[in-house]
Chains A and B, each alone.
Chain A
């Protein structure tokens, strides 16, 4: 019995060590050596992915929304591309550490980055000195346009008008939760600018922390994607005042858009895939097509609806580029506002 236990432990240990070895063997050449050898294939036929592992870097920890969307995409893309896809989490600097790792990787199509609008925000606030132009952008898999503004059900605000009116009458008293330089901070400042309301914009942590703060009425209002607040909306603890999208969502059609209430503010976040600069255009096209195929799968739609209450929204390479260009311009124009000046 004793020997068996030892044997078992040794075996497991050994397997862990071995697993570690194979893993690092895959990573080091791509991740560490930043040599930019032009590897664009000269032959006419594209030999990619050739069954080799494709590494998608998620520049955040495992378990968040970006990680979820990348993994869900990977799950379906593996089958279409016929190659294994591994997700590598490289957290740090609000996504900039992972971005740099991919930017400096070999442009051979085996390393890609899955990121969202924060890449642009990082440039605007000065965390990095580059945005999507440093990459070969592939396509957008998801466009989260489910940003809603909500209050505690016990609060006196029944409509968005109530809230704005109160914020005008009591300047600096209504607590709007957001982190400086974050996307929802920008939305809050835009709302102020548009309506002349004056919020007290306070930092109350990430999505889950803000839910708790709103539940305890330590803050008055909160903007976040619908999925983040969904459990509390379903339980009746939160009241949704509006969604900042072009048209009502089919997943929560009862919620009016801010636009139809007379506040023309649109908020969204695109989750896109990008390759290092210099990657073969045919690879990018192939992956973009695979992403389009995934976005049409009903199982996929079901997965993302269940987890984050969003709908698939595919944008091809050209559209994604155009979207990112205009979003970057929008953020840059509003730089002072975003920096809280």
Chain B
């Protein structure tokens, strides 16, 4: 192992690779931080450039962009309640309320440090257990995926806020909108109205930008019409010390971080689910096991810790199937795979034997990259927080422009721009009738996964539902899902009963 590290170190400890790591992290953070641009886009943009670099340098750049891009999403999530990437949806829930209370820098500090911890945790797991974990991951077939998806959907309850019913409405609408386009098994066109653009369905990024960014801009604009002046959040930059939180607060979060990290790694390993679900799932779990779940959403650091640890932990997780099986878990790792293939390296069972230099270069990039991210964001913290001083009437139109550019950049077509505007209107309507948007995103991501695996499973079993119940891993998740549902319904029942009594 040490020897392998030496080979990896030899490959990347040169001025070119080190500067590529720093450039990658900085650009990644910027792409992550700007709503509309995402880690996926950063990789897509830089992928062609890596073809002209040597294989190791190219992959070092891509991995750095990945780490920076996932972490950068926390900045806009915390400061403006607009998630920069799908991975930081849950960061908004407590991050923004903290900012509203004037504790923005603290939220940022927590986010940054736990992003770092998440990345490092997952890197350690990746280094020591990748081939072994990959062998477990392939045990997950259609039945197991279906059950995991169903279990993930039960987390909608935790995201619903005040009204469970409204949360469910939102979640199921998410599932419905995800069915638009060609179905992924028989290419049947659903809700496309004969339009070819619709045939590819709605992309997650425009949907996310619309629901969160555009609606937020509309709401702020509306408020501004009625108020004389839009309130600017006050932030005292001079009093920021270190990362803005105490050592005691840090240690209070150790279990939260550990559990969130493990959830992130686990979700990351399962191809097709990814960081977009990990953060939401971790938030739900941490909230459920908390002694004070009612405080979630009001601005406590626990929520930020859960989201940011898990989404960065998903990076190392996603690299497990990528490197040891050649399976990309999400759009970002698909780009990475493309980058590797282009260089004539096909990840798979022999990767750890034939391309030791590449594998360990990636590991070291993750470690060095995490530290680079920590330092860059530490110094950047004050810059980010200072963004709050920009009056919203200037900041939000800027964000709007990036949202549109970003949407176009997803696929180089105007359809995605219209999608952003459509979902902006939906998000605005949701806000008016107090329907929470996060369950929508969960439904949108998980719904298709559940459908395709249900149908695949039924193809495998030739129409029998029994294997879903008899396969052990599948059964385990179904039972867990059932328990969460019972627990949630019971909690809701108790709440309503006590409400009646108090009347």
Which residues of A are interface residues toward B (Cβ below 8 A)?
1-2, 5-6, 8-9, 12-13, 16, 20, 24, 27, 31-32, 61-64, 67-68, 71, 75, 87-94, 96-97, 100-101, 125, 127-128, 172, 175, 179-181, 200-205, 208-209, 211-213, 215-216, 218, 227, 230-232, 234-235, 237, 303, 306-308, 340
Report yes or no: A181 in contact with B187, Cβ–Cβ below 8 A: yes
- By a CB distance below 8 angstroms, the chain B residues around A218 are 141-142, 460
Report yes or no: B462 in contact with A203, Cβ–Cβ below 8 A: no
Report yes or no: A62 in contact with B335, Cβ–Cβ below 8 A: yes
* CA gap between A205 and B328 in the complex, in Å: 12
Contacts A24-B408, A101-B413, A204-B456 given; does A63 touch B349 at CB 8 Å: no
Report yes or no: B339 in contact with A16, Cβ–Cβ below 8 A: no
* CA gap between A82 and B139 in the complex, in Å: 51
B334 within 8 A of A: yes
| CB closest residue in chain B, given A4 | B379
Report yes or no: B349 in contact with A61, Cβ–Cβ below 8 A: no
Report yes or no: A9 in contact with B44, Cβ–Cβ below 8 A: no
* CA gap between A216 and B462 in the complex, in Å: 19
* CA gap between A5 and B196 in the complex, in Å: 46
Q: Smallest CB–CB gap between A250 and chain B, Å?
A: 18
State the 4 A-B residue pairs at the shortest beta-carbon distance, nearest first.
Answer: A63-B338, A231-B348, A92-B200, A306-B344
User: 8 Å CB contacts to A: which residues of B15-69?
Assistant: 26-27, 30, 44, 47-48, 51
Most chain B C-beta atoms within 10 Å of own C-beta, residue among A62, A68, A75, A340: A62
Report yes or no: B51 in contact with A235, Cβ–Cβ below 8 A: no
| CB closest residue in chain A, given B51 | A71
- By a CB distance below 8 angstroms, the chain B residues around A179 are 184-185
| CB closest residue in chain A, given B458 | A202
What mask results when residues 303 to 331 of chain B are scored 1 for a CB within 8 Å of chain A, else 0?
00000000000000000010001111001
Q: Smallest CB–CB gap between A171 and chain B, Å?
A: 11
* CA gap between A127 and B468 in the complex, in Å: 32
- By a CB distance below 8 angstroms, the chain B residues around A204 are 142, 456
Q: How many residues on chain B are close to A (CB under 8 Å)?
A: 62
Report yes or no: A61 in contact with B383, Cβ–Cβ below 8 A: no
* CA gap between A27 and B405 in the complex, in Å: 13
Name A237's contact: one of B30, B197, B349, B380 (CB within 8 Å): B349
Name A90's contact: one of B137, B138, B342, B412 (CB within 8 Å): B412
Report yes or no: B47 in contact with A88, Cβ–Cβ below 8 A: no
* 28 A-B interface contacts by CB (under 8 A): A9-B383, A12-B27, A62-B48, A63-B341, A71-B51, A71-B342, A89-B412, A90-B413, A92-B200, A93-B196, A93-B199, A96-B196, A96-B199, A97-B199, A175-B460, A180-B187, A204-B142, A208-B271, A208-B327, A208-B337, A212-B138, A212-B321, A231-B350, A234-B350, A235-B349, A307-B342, A307-B344, A308-B341
Report yes or no: A203 in contact with B187, Cβ–Cβ below 8 A: no
- By a CB distance below 8 angstroms, the chain A residues around B341 are 63, 68, 307-308
* CA gap between A213 and B334 in the complex, in Å: 18
Report yes or no: A63 in contact with B141, Cβ–Cβ below 8 A: no
Report yes or no: A31 in contact with B200, Cβ–Cβ below 8 A: no
Report yes or no: A2 in contact with B382, Cβ–Cβ below 8 A: yes
Report yes or no: A215 in contact with B187, Cβ–Cβ below 8 A: no
Report yes or no: A97 in contact with B197, Cβ–Cβ below 8 A: yes
B133 within 8 A of A: no
Q: Smallest CB–CB gap between B52 and chain A, Å?
A: 9
* CA gap between A244 and B248 in the complex, in Å: 66
Report yes or no: B325 in contact with A64, Cβ–Cβ below 8 A: no
* CA gap between A179 and B452 in the complex, in Å: 12
Most chain A C-beta atoms within 10 Å of own C-beta, residue among B184, B380, B413, B414: B413
B356 within 8 A of A: no
- By a CB distance below 8 angstroms, the chain A residues around B185 are 179-180, 203
- By a CB distance below 8 angstroms, the chain A residues around B187 are 94, 125, 127, 180-181
Report yes or no: B325 in contact with A12, Cβ–Cβ below 8 A: no
Q: Smallest CB–CB gap between A101 and chain B, Å?
A: 7
New contact pairs (11) apart from A67-B338, A127-B187, A208-B325, CB-CB < 8 Å: A5-B383, A62-B48, A63-B47, A64-B338, A68-B342, A71-B48, A93-B181, A100-B196, A213-B138, A306-B344, A307-B346
- By a CB distance below 8 angstroms, the chain A residues around B9 are none
Report yes or no: A93 in contact with B182, Cβ–Cβ below 8 A: yes
Which residues of B are interface residues toward A (Cβ below 8 A)?
26-27, 30, 44, 47-48, 51, 137-139, 141-142, 181-182, 184-187, 189, 196-197, 199-200, 271, 321, 325-328, 331, 334-339, 341-342, 344, 346-351, 379-380, 382-383, 405, 408-409, 411-414, 452, 455-456, 459-460, 462
Determine chain B's interface SS by DSSP, over half rule. helix
Name B271's contact: one of A89, A209, A216 (CB within 8 Å): A209
Q: Smallest CB–CB gap between A256 and chain B, Å?
A: 24
- By a CB distance below 8 angstroms, the chain B residues around A62 are 44, 47-48, 335, 338
Report yes or no: B462 in contact with A172, Cβ–Cβ below 8 A: yes
Report yes or no: B459 in contact with A97, Cβ–Cβ below 8 A: no
- By a CB distance below 8 angstroms, the chain A residues around B196 are 93, 96-97, 100, 128
Q: Smallest CB–CB gap between B206 and chain A, Å?
A: 12
- By a CB distance below 8 angstroms, the chain A residues around B382 are 2
- By a CB distance below 8 angstroms, the chain A residues around B137 are 212
- By a CB distance below 8 angstroms, the chain B residues around A20 are 405, 409
Q: Smallest CB–CB gap between B192 and chain A, Å?
A: 9
* CA gap between A89 and B40 in the complex, in Å: 13
Contacts A2-B379, A32-B414, A204-B456 given; does A211 touch B327 at CB 8 Å: yes
Report yes or no: A303 in contact with B51, Cβ–Cβ below 8 A: no
- By a CB distance below 8 angstroms, the chain A residues around B338 are 62-64, 67-68
- By a CB distance below 8 angstroms, the chain A residues around B351 are 231
- By a CB distance below 8 angstroms, the chain A residues around B189 are 127
Most chain A C-beta atoms within 10 Å of own C-beta, residue among B26, B325, B331, B337: B325
Name A211's contact: one of B47, B326, B339 (CB within 8 Å): B326
Report yes or no: A12 in contact with B26, Cβ–Cβ below 8 A: yes
* CA gap between A215 and B336 in the complex, in Å: 22
| CB closest residue in chain B, given A339 | B186
- By a CB distance below 8 angstroms, the chain A residues around B139 are 216
| CB closest residue in chain A, given B43 | A62
Report yes or no: A202 in contact with B456, Cβ–Cβ below 8 A: yes
Q: Smallest CB–CB gap between B459 and chain A, Å?
A: 4
- By a CB distance below 8 angstroms, the chain B residues around A87 are 48
* CA gap between A303 and B459 in the complex, in Å: 38
Q: Smallest CB–CB gap between A59 and chain B, Å?
A: 10
* CA gap between A20 and B200 in the complex, in Å: 25
* CA gap between A235 and B325 in the complex, in Å: 11
* CA gap between A235 and B142 in the complex, in Å: 25
Contacts A9-B383, A92-B199, A231-B347 given; does A63 touch B455 at CB 8 Å: no
Report yes or no: A340 in contact with B186, Cβ–Cβ below 8 A: yes
Q: Smallest CB–CB gap between B8 and chain A, Å?
A: 20
- By a CB distance below 8 angstroms, the chain A residues around B335 are 62-63
* CA gap between A6 and B26 in the complex, in Å: 12
Q: Smallest CB–CB gap between A199 and chain B, Å?
A: 12
- By a CB distance below 8 angstroms, the chain B residues around A211 are 325-327, 348
* CA gap between A234 and B355 in the complex, in Å: 14
Report yes or no: A231 in contact with B138, Cβ–Cβ below 8 A: no
* CA gap between A100 and B139 in the complex, in Å: 40
* CA gap between A235 and B338 in the complex, in Å: 21
